Structure 1
Amino acid sequence: MFIVKMFLVGIAVIHVLGKNEEKTCSADNKDTCDPCGITGKWMNELGSVVEITCKLDSPDQSSTGEIIGKYNSAVGAATDYYPLSGRFTIPDQDSTSCIVGFVVAWNNKAYGNADSSTSFTGTYYKDTDKIYTFWILTSYKKYNDMWENSNIGKDVFTRIHSK
């Protein structure tokens, strides 16, 4: 009976340690450990570049956290980055993937306020090293024209590797 219990405890420890493989985070490195696997630069099909950093909420909560970064849109020939912020969670069913959501408000020093924002939501799959997103762009319209204030689309972001 004791051997069976020790075996089961061993299996549980291996499962917990294996779940956070390559994502080991602690109080010392919780702001730099990249638990989601997406920290870095990414480019979508249109040439827009997003730079993302993932931070854990706390080392005890190793499956959720904050996304911060910047977005440079290739659409409209933007010359300056726009700040972005969001959240991530690591699914229990596949700890190598990551569910992400982030928002960009189209307002910066170079172009001012575009009276719009875009929300991106999607999934990072480690085996493809891509972030697959759907987005909704909402622009300000007067109340009577509110029906035309949103566009919906999708983007696939591919990692830009350092040279």
Structure 2
Amino acid sequence: MQVTPVLLALTLALAVPSCSAQQPCNLTGNWTNDLGSNMTINELNSKGEFNGSYHTAVKATNNEIKVSPLQGYQHVKDQCKNATFGFTVNWNFSDSITVFTGQCFVNNSKEVLKTMWLLRSHVNSLEDDWKATR
């Protein structure tokens, strides 16, 4: 799976619950990034745990791209602030896993996720470990 090292900016068009004059960002919903990948985050539980799915538009494999599951956490100490979060995607079509971490913002009434990611691919030996993480 080839993933270009970009800062993903995911945008969502959903109603946001009222907390204060400054609306908090809501992770729950459907997101699309600047590369055309799509992500769905299901409802958060009271501990800030969530799951969902990720359909990437980027790959470095001949395998057919499949929707892959994601599991994550949102920091829930203060639900009225721009949330920090992290999630893991277990790619269904390759021997790799990606972890994302980021923060949710509201910018000009538009919700934006700013994330960084780390992808780990399977290698067959310790000597090949150097090329397994991007």
Report the equivalent of 1:135.
117
Matches within 5 A, 1:86-101: 86-90=72-76, 92=78, 95-101=80-86
Of all paired residues, the percent bearing the same amino acid is 34
CA change 1:79–1:148 in 2 (3 A) is closer
CA change 1:44–1:78 in 2 (3 A) is farther
The one-letter amino acid of 1:70's match is: S
**Alignment root-mean-square deviation, CA:** 2.4
Does the 8 A contact of 1:96 with 1:126 survive in 2? Answer: no
Matches within 5 A, 1:105-120: 105-107=90-92, 111=93, 114-120=94-100
For 2:68 and 2:74, how far apart are their aligned partners in 1?
A: 19
Does the 8 A contact of 2:51 with 2:70 survive in 1? Answer: yes
Report the equivalent of 1:124.
104
Report the equivalent of 2:31.
42
The one-letter amino acid of 2:73's match is: R
Report the equivalent of 1:9.
none
For 1:143 and 1:119, how far apart are their aligned partners in 2?
A: 21
Corresponding residue SS for 2:34: coil
The one-letter amino acid of 1:50's match is: M
Q: Structure 1: any 5+ residue segments left out of the alignment?
A: 1-20, 24-34, 58-63, 152-163
- The alpha carbon displacement at 1:53 in A equals 1.6
The one-letter amino acid of 2:36's match is: G
TM-score by length of 2: 0.70
For 1:123 and 1:91, how far apart are their aligned partners in 2?
A: 14
| In the alignment, structure 1 residue 84 sits paired with structure 2 residue 73 | no
Does the 8 A contact of 1:99 with 1:122 survive in 2? Answer: yes
Does the 8 A contact of 1:54 with 1:65 survive in 2? Answer: no
Report the equivalent of 1:30.
none
CA change 1:87–1:78 in 2 (3 A) is farther
Report the equivalent of 2:89.
104
Does the 8 A contact of 1:47 with 1:74 survive in 2? Answer: yes
- The alpha carbon displacement at 1:37 in A equals 1.1
Q: Structure 2: any 5+ residue segments left out of the alignment?
A: 1-16
TM-score by length of 1: 0.59
Please identify runs of 4+ aligned residues in structure 1 that moved more than 4 A: none
| In the alignment, structure 1 residue 22 sits paired with structure 2 residue 18 | yes
